[in-house]
């Protein structure tokens, strides 16, 4: 989207914007899942920074701020699925302003309810055996004391929350939460008393231990206290399970739903979860499965699409459903599995498999295990064979799940080259994670800012969007990872600039604005627009007209699109024909920048290449070499100089492979790449005729005529000035006459060469002078006719 269109949309939104109070009223009636934390934070900023403004008549100033704090707390609590420090702060601020309000009570109810849905002990109570040595008995006693102490340390906070839940549940008429709080309070009191009895009896038992002897009476009291606690823990778990609403999803699915985008993936995982519930219930009813649903999964997607996150959520789902005893994920890649000598790969792979038993083994970039063209010293296939064997037979079969992840095309080739492995991953267990949309990446970026206690201004959002779009050029784009890095870089810029000023404001610590997302463009700094620099070039009048016509066409089509009118497709691939030195490369660079300024290219850089950069001497390497250069140019312009040389190698040459690859890649990256073929006119015609795909894609041809004598003299004078030298009037007349009488070949390039040669002759001349310089500034900067011997002696070809 162009800056002009973004500006119009923002202005339109400002004109129709509701008051703050109207926005609060709307948000208070929204489901929590639809609340946008970033929107609410911006409203808080407006209210706090403009306290005296008229924000509406629906609420008092205390209500206005308190409701915004409540909404921010609810939005963040839903997004994070936990009460973090910021949620607690929002809740406390709201309670200080409106302690008796039902909206405050609703938020506190949610937070306290959630905090009480917790496991009280992180492990089961160990057992003391009569035959244990005294050290073993004492070690178990220490565990008892630690577990009881840990509970007692948090019991007061839990009891306080249960009492507050009781109060707020009544205030909002939530009778289920009220009943839950009563049961929890009773259980916490019983658990506190049982833990105190365990501490007392455990200490007495420990004191009675002497060698192999101990007090049986004290041991019996310890066992009674442990049994009582175990029974209370079961009651605690039962109360929690009964309190959950019917159809409540496990925490892993809740976390999945809070992820931005991925709607298709969420539905796939949700369906998979439901089937596992069905499978578990069916087995409990006594029905037999000959072929159970496989737990092994294939996750494909480009970088930053959430493959690792989904793998961790699947592991939690398996554990929460009781399918696997552990929720742990062992994350590995090729380096963890493949060794460098015979026998080491099997050893490394089996060690990883043993670690994964009971949980999930996640292999990232799994396709790297099978390298194309790898020699006999590559043991990647051995790792694959060892993994398949462990999955299908022996002591580890069925005791762990395997999730393989990687890029879509690479994973497809990898699985087809390993039929044994492919058969362990049914098609129904293949999940593709698509790239995020720009809107989703903006939301992810805002979440990153919020997690670091920053918010974005309205003006910062278009700047963030532009940065994301500039990076979004090929399959290497990092999606959520890139959005996160852009925001973190903006925070770095904010902090660096603030520290440089030597003074800090509150916004320096909490707000990211447009300037924090601006970056210096690559290349030499130049305040002039590309079109202005094009017009400043010497000569090239027809070329300038052609480029300006194309730019005007692009602008008009964009205006038609903004006004709902049909567009004519824009053909940007071009032929630049002309002799050497006529400005083809210079114009190509400016042309790429013009397209970038018009938002047609995301980066607007120029990649200059030739035959040697594209063509290799071996079968299959030319295509890869060409693709690599094209990837380098994505988002900009690929300029192929002397493009006809791709056909110059005869029947055994691989230039045709480069041309075919170029045509295929141009189709694939049609909206993200402009190709310019440059060279002499006649050979260029032969190149286009060699491949129908080329001729259909290059309909625009720009002819670069040779420079006139006057233009060449102007170019010469331009380089004299650029290099910091000068010539007097007489020398200028002399050189102009020489060029008119005997115009050198090479056009503008010849003029640059002539000036560079003259500078070298000048340096030699002044060093040969025996006397001191009479006027150093003049002597060191003035070129005379004798310095231009190369130009004067050069004959036109």
Residue 629 belongs to domain with CATH number:
3.40.50.300
Give dist(CA 669, CA 477) in Å, integer.
14
Strands 297-301 and 401-406, by their bridges, are parallel
- 405, 266: one domain: yes
Q: Which two tokens stand for residue 787?
A: 């310095």
Q: Answer yes or no: are the C-beta atoms of 320 and 288 closer than 8 Å.
A: no
Would you say residue 347 lies in a domain? Answer: yes
Based on the fold, state whether residues 633 and 717 are members of the same structural domain. Answer: no
Query: Is residue 116 included in any domain, yes or no?
Result: no
How far is CA 537 from its chain centroid? 40
Q: Quick one: pLDDT at residue 10?
A: 47
561-589: buried (b, 16+ CB within 10 Å) or exposed (e) per residue?
Answer: eeeeeeeeeeebbbbbbbbbbbbbbebbb
| Alpha-carbon distances of 288 from 70, 277, 281, 283, 285, rounded to whole Å | 51, 15, 11, 6, 9
| Other beta carbons within 10 Å of 258 | 12
Is residue 548 in a domain?
A: yes
Judgement on whether residues 255 and 241 belong to the same structural domain of the protein:
no
Phi, psi of 121 (to 5 degrees): -125, 135
Residue 6 lies in a domain: no
Is there a single domain that holds both residue 326 and residue 238?
A: no
Place of tokens 């494909």: 300
Which structure tokens are listed for 347?
């050893």
Q: DSSP alpha helices (H): ranges in 669-746? A: 681-689, 692-697, 709-722, 729-741
Residues 540 and 442 in one domain: no
**Model pLDDT, residue 532:** 84
Confirm whether 149 is domain-assigned. Answer: yes
Residue 375 included in any domain: yes
Whether 278 is in a domain gets the answer: yes
Residue 680 lies in a domain: yes
Do 492 and 589 share a domain, yes or no? no
309 and 183 share a domain? Answer: no
**Averaged pLDDT, groups of 10, the chain, 797 residues long:** 49 63 88 85 84 76 89 89 88 91 91 86 83 85 92 92 92 88 92 93 90 84 92 86 57 81 87 84 81 85 90 89 87 88 87 92 89 64 88 84 90 84 86 90 90 88 88 79 92 89 84 84 57 87 87 86 83 88 90 86 88 79 86 90 79 77 86 88 84 82 90 91 91 88 85 91 81 70 85 57
Query: Nearest to residue 116, comparing CAs of 61, 182, 59, 53?
Result: 182
Are 513 and 459 in contact by the 8 Å Cβ rule? The answer is yes
The CATH number that applies at residue 229 is 1.20.120
The residue out of 432, 459, 483 marking a domain boundary is: 432
CA 268, 270, 273, 278 torsion-angle sign: negative
CA 239 to CA 107: how far, in whole Å? 22
CATH value at residue 473: 1.10.8.60
In angstroms, the CA 326 to CA 85 distance is: 29
Q: What pLDDT is recorded for position 609?
A: 92
Count the neighbouring beta carbons within 10 Å of the beta carbon of residue 72: 28
Question: For the chain, what is the domain count?
Answer: 6
Do 651 and 774 belong together in one domain?
no
CB 595 within 8 Å of CB 604: yes
| Co-location of 497 and 538 in the same domain | no
Collapsed DSSP state (helix, strand, coil) of residue 702: strand
Distance CA 50, CA 361 (A): 54
Domain extent, residue 678, equals 530-696
544 and 450, same domain (yes or no)? no
Considering the domain architecture, whether residues 508 and 535 belong to the same structural domain is answered as no
Domain boundary among 245, 271, 305: 245
What is the full DSSP assignment across 16-48? TPPPHHHHHHHHHTS-GGG--HHHHHHHHHHHH
* Angle, in degrees to the nearest 10, between helices 480-501 and 460-471: 130
Q: Quick one: 258 and 370 in the same domain?
A: yes
Of 99, 123, 145, which residue constitutes the final position of a domain? 99
């Amino acid at each position: 989207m162009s800056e002009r269109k973004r500006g119009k949309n923002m202005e339109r939104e400002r004109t129709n914007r509701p008051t703050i109070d109207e926005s609060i009223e709307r948000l208070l009636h929204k489901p929590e899942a639809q609340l946008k934390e970033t929107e609410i934070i911006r409203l808080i900023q407006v209210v706090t920074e403009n306290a005296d403004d008229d924000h509406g008549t629906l609420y008092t100033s205390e209500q206005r701020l308190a409701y915004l704090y409540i909404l921010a707390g609810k939005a963040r609590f839903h997004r994070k699925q936990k009460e973090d420090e910021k949620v607690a702060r929002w809740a406390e601020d709201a309670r200080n302003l409106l302690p008796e309000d039902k909206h405050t009570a609703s938020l506190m109810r949610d937070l306290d309810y959630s905090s009480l849905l917790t496991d009280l002990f992180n492990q089961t109570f160990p057992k003391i055996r009569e035959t244990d040595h005294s050290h073993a008995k004492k070690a178990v006693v220490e565990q008892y004391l630690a577990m009881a102490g840990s509970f007692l340390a948090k019991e007061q906070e839990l009891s306080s929350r249960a009492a507050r839940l009781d109060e707020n549940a009544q205030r909002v008429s939530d009778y289920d939460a009220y009943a839950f709080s009563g049961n929890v309070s009773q259980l916490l009191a019983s658990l506190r008393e049982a833990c105190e009895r365990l501490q007392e009896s455990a200490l007495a038992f420990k004191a009675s231990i002497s060698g192999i002897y101990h007090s049986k009476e004290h041991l019996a009291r310890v066992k009674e206290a442990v049994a009582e606690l175990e029974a209370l823990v079961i009651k605690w778990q039962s109360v929690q399970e009964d309190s959950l609403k019917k159809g409540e999803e496990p925490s892993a699915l809740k976390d999945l739903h809070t992820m931005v985008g991925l709607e298709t993936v969420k539905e796939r995982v949700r369906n998979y979860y439901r089937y596992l519930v069905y499978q578990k219930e069916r087995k409990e009813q006594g029905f037999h499965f000959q072929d159970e649903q496989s737990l092994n999964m294939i996750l494909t997607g480009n970088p930053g699409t959430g493959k690792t996150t989904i793998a961790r959520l699947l592991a939690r789902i398996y554990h929460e459903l009781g399918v696997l005893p552990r929720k742990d994920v062992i994350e590995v890649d090729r380096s963890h599995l493949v060794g460098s000598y015979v026998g080491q790969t099997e050893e490394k792979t089996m060690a990883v498999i043993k670690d994964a038993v009971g949980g999930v083994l996640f292999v990232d970039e799994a396709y790297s295990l099978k390298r194309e063209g790898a020699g006999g010293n590559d043991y990647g296939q051995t790792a694959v064979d060892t993994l398949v064997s462990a999955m299908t037979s022996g002591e580890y079969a069925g005791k762990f799940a395997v999730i393989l992840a990687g890029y879509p095309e690479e994973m497809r080739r990898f699985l087809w080259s390993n039929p044994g492995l492919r058969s362990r991953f049914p098609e129904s267990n293949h999940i593709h994670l698509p790239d995020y949309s720009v809107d989703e990446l903006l939301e992810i970026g805002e979440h990153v800012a919020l997690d670091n206690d920053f918010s974005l201004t309205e003006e910062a959002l278009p700047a963030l969007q532009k940065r994301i779009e500039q990076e979004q050029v090929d399959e290497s784009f990092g999606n959520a990872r890139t959005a996160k890095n852009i925001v973190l870089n903006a925070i770095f810029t904010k902090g660096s600039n603030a520290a440089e000023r030597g003074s800090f404001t509150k916004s320096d610590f909490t707000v990211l604005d447009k300037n924090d997302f601006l970056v210096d463009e690559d290349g030499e700094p130049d305040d002039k627009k590309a079109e202005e620099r094009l017009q400043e070039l010497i000569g090239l009048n027809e070329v300038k007209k052609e480029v300006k016509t194309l730019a005007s066409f692009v602008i008009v089509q964009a205006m038609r699109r903004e006004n709902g009118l049909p567009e004519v497709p824009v053909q940007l691939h071009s032929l630049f024909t002309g002799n050497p030195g006529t400005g083809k490369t210079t114009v190509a660079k400016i042309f790429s920048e013009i397209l970038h300024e018009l938002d047609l290219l995301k980066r607007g850089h120029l990649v200059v290449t030739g035959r040697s950069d594209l063509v290799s001497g071996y079968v299959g390497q030319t295509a890869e070499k060409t693709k690599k250069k094209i990837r380098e140019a994505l988002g900009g312009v690929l300029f192929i100089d002397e493009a006809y040389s791709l056909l110059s190698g005869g029947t055994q040459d691989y230039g045709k492979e480069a041309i075919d690859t170029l045509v295929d890649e141009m189709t694939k990256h049609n909206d993200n790449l402009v190709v310019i073929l440059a060279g002499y006119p006649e050979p260029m015609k032969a190149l286009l005729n060699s491949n129908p795909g080329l001729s259909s894609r290059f309909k625009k041809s720009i002819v670069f005529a040779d420079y006139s004598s006057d233009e060449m003299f102007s170019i010469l004078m331009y380089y004299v000035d650029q290099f910091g030298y000068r010539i007097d009037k007489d020398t200028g007349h002399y050189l102009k006459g020489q060029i008119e009488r005997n115009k050198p070949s090479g056009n503008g390039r010849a003029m640059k060469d002539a000036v560079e040669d003259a500078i070298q002759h000048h340096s030699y001349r002044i060093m040969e002078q025996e006397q001191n310089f009479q006027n150093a500034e003049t002597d060191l900067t003035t070129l005379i006719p004798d310095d231009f011997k190369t130009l004067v002696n050069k004959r036109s070809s």
